[in-house]
Structure 1
């Protein structure tokens, strides 16, 4: 009997590692970071990778400096998940992609509330659409208008100017055309070069791009940054639905929210690199006018099917919760 008992224990000891191994899944995660493997986005994802091991997820992180390829490789199944911008991610999940809608999230404090709601298990259904699901959303910072002539500090003065727009986001070209400016199709890999070389007069970019993409070259000598955030940008980890169990996806979304401070600290650090002399202040009445115009733009793009109405409703509720005196809330 003693020998039999010892044999059973030995068999269990041998089988235990294989059982644990069977509970671990291996997946390939493609990460867009314009700097590459040593960039801040990749570094943040390496922390996520370490945390994911505790959920039974072993990942291979592959850096991409071309966002379009990272998105296409997700579609092709080369990547089990891809970390890309929310604007491009709108093609995979309109609800989550609408977080990056123009003027809908005024400040980072508003963004934190939105991301808290989206990390809640009650939001899981909306974050899964078709063949894809969202494994996490992180802020990428507010986008500001960079101009090569600081006198262009109003929409009226933008008429006739050349403005870089992302070629895969039709909403940008529509908005630029409406103010009488000329949209110039670009992508994340070349919009900064066009600005720095004078091919375009105006771009929208987050402050983290100031040093990384040397935007001070395009600002020199008479340019400026309009001190009014146009949109809060995000990075979104978008995955094939059938490659990640729901409970694992939820843990990932909660990780992104619980580690929000790491990303915001990095964004604040990068923002401090901006030389204060570039900032261009605009009158309060102009800001009020811009809010109305952006509200009208969101409504139009919702009707045309670019923005998700449920997300727009959520974003309005957050704005009204934090600023009940807003005109739209009364």
Structure 2
């Protein structure tokens, strides 16, 4: 995603002795592209700024997020940079940022991240023996389809959707619309979409070029122009790695990178050809928003509309915060006065 800062990369490369210090923190960093990828570059820039705060990181790139998670769990690194979908096991509150349909715009995302980066929210950043030390935007997730006529919920019924194994809320949503779950990993969903073994997949806009999803779109497919959720890259550390002061500074440093990260995300989205986007009828959008809201409530309460148990995924207080953000930006929305509002 073009996050790479030449000055940051050069300064990091010129400081091997500093990175070799005994008190440096080893961080496992997930980037599908590896050390030359944009997520890794974003973390490099963050690490450079943290050096000014007296915190040194040794960054180790991982192209397989599952392996990065395993090495972190095994103690091979004391910090981890990974997607919120994976970080959720360590912090349900920040892991709820990607709740389906909960953050409809980048303005809403910035408002939410600014709120939880404040010192008064620090207690929510800690869960068990871990603490969230920073959050970065990775872009809105969209539905990529091989047939652009798949532009309503009804038309998803029976379609095969590449769904990440570790993303239970997506599994729930796919089942909710009577589509078929095609179990996938972040390393193979793009290939499945491109060879048309699935009818749809969800991904951020930058994947159009980075994962060559334009191959799966071809002449007949497209990208449904409605954000299903917001993906974030989160840094989590063991709770004895950073002092309370350093952890708060770290969250502030990460927030300082929001604008530069977002500008790159939007550049990638703007590079997507206009004809690749599939418009959603305005008359359908409110219905979609209500459908997403009901799904969030079910995944918050662990019970569906029929009273059957489902996986409890979302943190209620984060859902309430995100509802307040949405209603601040759109106070006339029906959800703002709903009796069962989040």
Q: With structure 1 as the length reference, what TM-score do the two structures score?
A: 0.91
Q: Cα distance, 1:92 vs. partner?
A: 0.7
Return closer, same or farther for 1:140/1:262 CA change in 2, 3 Å cut-off: same
In structure 1, how many angstroms separate the alpha carbons of the residues matched to 2:168 and 2:326? 26
Tell me if 1:194 matches 2:192: yes
Deviations, residues 59-113 of structure 1 (Å, cap 9, x unaligned) = 1111111111111211111111111111111111000000110011110000000
Contact kept? 2:146, 2:200, Cα under 8 Å: yes
Q: Cα distance, 1:24 vs. partner?
A: 8.6
Q: With structure 2 as the length reference, what TM-score do the two structures score?
A: 0.88
Tell me if 1:169 matches 2:129: no
- The 5 Å alignment of 1:143-162 reads 143-162=141-160
Structure with larger Rg:
1
Return closer, same or farther for 1:117/1:24 CA change in 2, 3 Å cut-off: farther
Q: Cα distance, 1:57 vs. partner?
A: 1.2
Return closer, same or farther for 1:25/1:55 CA change in 2, 3 Å cut-off: farther
Question: What corresponds to 1:317 in structure 2?
Answer: 324
In structure 2, how many angstroms separate the alpha carbons of the residues matched to 1:264 and 1:273? 14
The structure 2 residue matched to 1:120, chosen from 96, 118, 121, is 118
In structure 1, how many angstroms separate the alpha carbons of the residues matched to 2:267 and 2:133? 26
Task: After the TM superposition, list the runs of 4 or more consecutive aligned residues in structure 1 that deviate by more than 6 angstroms.
Answer: none
Question: What corresponds to 1:16 in structure 2?
Answer: none
Question: What corresponds to 1:50 in structure 2?
Answer: 48
In structure 1, how many angstroms separate the alpha carbons of the residues matched to 2:257 and 2:217? 34
Contact kept? 1:24, 1:57, Cα under 8 Å: no
Deviations, residues 193-235 of structure 1 (Å, cap 9, x unaligned) = 0000111110111001110000000000200111111111111
In structure 1, how many angstroms separate the alpha carbons of the residues matched to 2:166 and 2:240? 26
In structure 2, how many angstroms separate the alpha carbons of the residues matched to 1:96 and 1:135? 11
SS in 1 for 2:124: coil
The structure 1 residue matched to 2:285, chosen from 260, 284, 287, is 287
SS in 2 for 1:103: coil
My pick for the range that moved more, 48-57 or 294-303, is 48-57
Question: What corresponds to 1:269 in structure 2?
Answer: 267
Tell me if 1:80 matches 2:95: no
Deviations, residues 222-273 of structure 1 (Å, cap 9, x unaligned) = 0011111111111111111112211111111000112211100110121122
Across the two proteins, how many residue pairs are aligned to each other? 309
Deviations, residues 154-213 of structure 1 (Å, cap 9, x unaligned) = 111111110011101222112111211100110111100000011111011100111000
Flag structure 1 segments of 5+ consecutive residues without an equivalent: 1-22
In structure 1, how many angstroms separate the alpha carbons of the residues matched to 2:25 and 2:131? 15
SS in 2 for 1:25: coil
In structure 2, how many angstroms separate the alpha carbons of the residues matched to 1:130 and 1:44? 27
In structure 2, how many angstroms separate the alpha carbons of the residues matched to 1:267 and 1:155? 27
Q: Cα distance, 1:35 vs. partner?
A: 1.1
Question: What corresponds to 2:38 in structure 1?
Answer: 40
Contact kept? 2:50, 2:253, Cα under 8 Å: no
